[in-house]
Copies of this chain bind each other. A is one copy, B any other.
């Protein structure tokens, strides 16, 4: 009997099942330093204790995407080892900052199952929660993946397709209770434009590009203890390429968006996301954003802004997204829809 983890197949999931994912993780300033080395991340709130204190927080939280990656990484051995495709995200919300010293673990509830008509695969929906050492939720999101069946003859489960919000409603955004942007220092943040300066429909080309190296995406992906072999083993694909973890592209694009959106300090919701095309070492990643919506919040001086963040590769021209056929252009790597907090 093998002792290695073969991963779950489609018939191993039941609706309502809760999976406690393995390997809790204590974080420190080390993860922050590495995040700054791996991405051109410069949002001041996650960089400076002093800046964060001037915004009412006790210290600088770790970048919100560090929390996402750690929570996500823990689910990989249980959810996506036999996944054919990562189909989507919905209803993602950050619920509480993660601080150096916190210990994070994850658990997922299976909330939907649908066998595909070919009988060989099925779609699994899970709602994943990240929890800190006090058992408090730090974030949650729904993700659905297409998973292989072990045995094509296994009976199909009852189809359950969860109803998911297309967008997290602004009223449901969770803002740290202490957060206060009344005395926000725009100069130290690196950007004069504030919430009122951004218009719905406005698009911003973030200008800069980063050419990706194998060593970097592997360091990043391992840092989140995501050990899916396709990211690390050059002998795994026929073309000898290592597929870059989609989350690496998310963090790279979000960091590049500093140039034009430096005041979009905290990511508070993940409405939707598509990894439109695979990314490989040697690709030069660029990013652009579109303002999709804006909302006021009850927190002093804090507005919410809903952004589309698009990552592209190569010299893809301005604001490329989809072709006339409605499909993503081949240069598009990522199409992410999220809410962030910005001083008004």
Contact = CB atoms under 8 A, between A and B. Distances in A.
Contact of A3 (B29, B204, B236, B242): B204
Contact of A33 (B5, B34, B133, B233): B34
B220 A4 contact: no
Interface in A71-103: 77, 100, 103
Nearest to A256: B227
Interface stretch (A39-47, A146-154, A295-303): A39-47
Contact of A210 (B23, B208, B213, B233): B233
A-side interface size class: 35 or more
B227 A48 contact: no
Contact of A209 (B48, B232, B262): B232
Contacts of A225: 36, 40-42, 47
A49 interface: yes
Interface string A1-37: 0111100000000000000101111111111111011
Nearest to A33: B30
Interface in A200-225: 204-211, 213-216, 218-220, 222-223, 225
A105 interface: yes
A34 B284 CA distance: 24
Contact of A30 (B32, B187, B220, B261): B32
A188 B3 contact: no
A229 B208 contact: yes
A319 interface: no
A42 B226 CA distance: 10
A324 interface: no
A44 B204 CA distance: 43
Contacts of A314: 235
A284 B222 contact: no
Contacts of A26: 29, 47-50, 59-60
Contacts of A219: 37-38, 215-216, 219
A282 B229 CA distance: 16
A5 B186 CA distance: 14
Nearest to A262: B22
Given A30-B32, A188-B24, A188-B105, A232 B215 contact: no
Contacts of A41: 225
Contact of A28 (B37, B100, B197, B198): B100
Contacts of A59: 26
Contact of A188 (B22, B38, B190, B207): B22
A163 interface: no
Contact of A100 (B29, B36, B40, B190): B29
B190 A23 contact: yes
A28 B29 contact: yes
Nearest to A284: B235
Given A28-B100, A34-B37, A77 B233 contact: no
